[in-house]
Amino acid sequence: MQLRWSHAVVYVRDMEPMLDFYTKVLGFEITDRGPVGPAGGPEIVFMSQVPSDHHQLAFLSVRKDNDPPNSVNHFAFRVDSIDEVRAMTGRLTDDGRASNLNPMTHGNAWSIYFSDPEGNGLEVFCDTPWHVQQPQGRPWDMSKNNEEVAAETREAFAAEPGFEPIADFYKAHAKHLRNR
């Protein structure tokens, strides 16, 4: 049996500002919403960006405290290119509600980490052409062009263990999964 990631449900304090941020800035669409249970329980809102999933995220309006979010460090979303990571960073900067913006490369990904309006950690990333043993992490300069970023990433991680083309890593990983 193969388990595939499907969705996460997040407890929120104030539903409407969170929905506004996730729909207008991150681009999710609300697919359903309503009370949980027949007796008018707390509201749950389902959201997705992909046609194959009813929801990738759901918000449940039950949080009453002002403490930091729960024990989840962050949720990550993959995009197709470094240009899309840059575009998301621009959207986050223009909107102004995200905090803790942190561009980071792990050698195998170019990411922007940030916190949503209630402090939940998020990451939007794209793959680099390489695999590198993890954990790794260094800031990357978003003001540089794609070729410069790629060259600097390759130079920074080429001597690290496991550095190889990402296609080679995925091919070996797929073979390993078939043989277990």
Q: Classify the phi-psi angles of 100: left when phi > 0, otherwise alpha if psi is within -120 to 50, otherwise beta.
A: left
Burial of 31 (0-12, 13-18, 19+ CB in 10 A): middle
Q: Do both 87 and 153 map to the same domain?
A: yes
The residue type found at 180 is R
pLDDT, residue 3, reads 53
The pLDDT of residue 66: 78
Q: For residue 179, what pLDDT is reported?
A: 84
Note if the bond before 135 is cis, omega within 30 degrees: yes
**Rounded mean pLDDT of 62-73?**
76
Q: Which range among 38-52, 61-75, 147-161, 163-177 has the greatest average pLDDT?
A: 147-161
One domain for residues 30 and 98: no
Query: Which secondary-structure segment (H or E) carries 153?
Result: helix 146-157
- pLDDT exceeds cutoff 60 at 55: yes
Smallest Cα–Cα separation from 60: which of 119, 122, 6, 14?
14
**Number of domains the chain is built from:** 2
Tell me: do 158 and 90 sit in the same domain. Answer: yes
> What pLDDT is attached to residue 71?
62
59/98 same-domain check: no
> Domain with 44 in it: what CATH number?
3.10.180.10
pLDDT: which is higher, 179 or 138: 138
Q: Per mean pLDDT, which range of 28-32, 38-42, 45-49, 99-103 is the poorest?
A: 38-42
- Any idea what the CATH number is for the domain that residue 96 is in? 3.10.180
pTM of the model: 0.84
Structural domain for 126, as ranges: 71-180
State residue 57's pLDDT score: 93
Do 23 and 42 fall within a single domain? yes
